[in-house]
Chain A
Amino acid sequence: MGRYSGNAASIEALIRPTQVHRDVYIDDEVFDLEMKHLFANTWVFVGHDSQVPNKGDYFATEIGRQPVLMARHTDGDVYVMHNRCPHKGTKIVIDREGNTGKFFRCPYHAWSFKTDGCLLAIPLKKGYKDTGLEDSEAARGLAPVGAVKNYRGFIFARLNPEGPGFDEFFGDSLSSLDNMIDRSPEGRLEVAGPPLRYMHQCNWKMLVENQTDTCHPMVAHESSAGTAVKLWESLDKPEGTTKPMAMEVIAPFMSPYEFFEDMGIRTWPNGHGHTGVHHSIHSDYSAVPGYFDQMVEAHGEERAKAILGENRHNTVYFPNIMIKGPIQQLRIFIPLAANKTLVESYIYRLVGAPDMLLQRTAMYNRLINAPTSVVGHDDLEMYERAQEGLHSDGLEWVNVQRLYAEGEDMDETAVENGTTERQMRNQFHAWKKYMTMTMGAAQ
């Protein structure tokens, strides 16, 4: 046993009010414990139900390091189960998505399972007669995850059978998901194409923290957004030339500190929070012809204005996703190792809304979050430098002190100056809670 296993006190000691120990980012044992505890005790995003529109459709992914399957069953519901044959352990599916028909069939010995995971048939079953198979784990089929919730199309799962309820875990933070979905005149989203997949040689939490880090854009992105602004200004343009969509997307990254201070940050209990309480880098996009009228028709004018008046920037759903309501983007920070994270960036179509909105969203995704994106290059360089730098023995602690107030209570929702690091502290507060929840005391 290492220093941290089964020793909740040693995990708690890594988190101080204004700093966190580097082991949360670089220690392999801490990472293993995150997979075992944090990702089992929390509600983790699995996928969107539009990825499995038809009966028999499946989507294979991971919760933490656990391979899971999300499938549309014959009853129309979406089930989440472990992607592991109960017989010999073979992964049932190896591709990322597809349609399995009425049942899953293990390619090794042809054990078959209904699309809700229940055992359907075993070849030459007489070989198990009087062996007590019916009392074995194997007879129960593909192991289900602890709990599943389909929240307006977004599928979340908790691996542990016991733990916080969905509503208790997310609370008022669901208002950000609601706002993203309500932006469809039909109240429905559909995934639009495959995600960007971007490999990062750094810890997953660096990415989550970056989502509400409002003091880096004007610095780290000077090379991309700053160059874009200068280049646009230097071009010979006829009077009254409108800014192209790409400039609307990228230029706000260069907004001054005051802009980010004034935009505000809201934190919710359990590690959730968002930037852009009052306005955000998504506030000043050009109106899309016809869209507002559709929204008024669907929701009434007052409600339409309220929905579109929200311009939340990044909403972090602890532990490992971020959504952008105004542009219908969702990013998953998939932990692979203490120093390795896969980032998948999905976009969604607002069902019933003009295509131009999706066009802007697709542009945002490729300009900001692709492995070929200049903004992405800026960020990844910083994460990887941090991952390397943390191995320096000069200091062992990482500072998260900006706008700290003594006695701050993370169980209370709060709205603060947009440059506070309170949301990072909020995440570590939740991290400590869900890491130690099932860990027990020192032995």
Chain B
Amino acid sequence: MAGETTGAPEAPDVIAQLIEAAPALAGVPYDVARGQVVFFPTREEYLRVAAALKAASFVMCSDLTAVDYLRHLDRPLPPAVAGERFEVVCGLLSIERRQRVRLRVQVPESDPSCATLFYLWPGSEAMEREAYDMFGIRFLEHPDLTRILMPEDWEGHPLRKDYSVGRVPVQFKDAPGPR
């Protein structure tokens, strides 16, 4: 059992068991709140950690989304994690272990891009497209990174915090104005 973890001085059992199953998790900052396990891999570690979790029976990517922390850049995070504007949040599910693990990846505003999970879990395809559509986070090597909910000629990414509700008066660029 790898004993080296950051965060709390003593790793809870659930973390120790996960590290035993997926050694790549050792050293990745974590958090356990209300029984939910969260890991904070860096962008570089993200795919490696995800693949290790997949090998450790996390066969489903049940959820993938993003959060824009524009107003909370100083939010509380484990000490080793530097908060960035965006976070890609990915929920993994193990049927065998009946367990969920969440990955929160910091994505900077200057380069909102992140690896795609498509090649591990093809089911993340639509969810990554949605995150791209809503937040403008580019998932590198995603096979079809186009807008999914908004029209393809839409400008801006609606769920960003600097995109206000009702700010856009006309819906389509070439729409004829009111007579």
Binding partners A and B: no
Chain B residues in contact with chain A, CB under 8 A? none
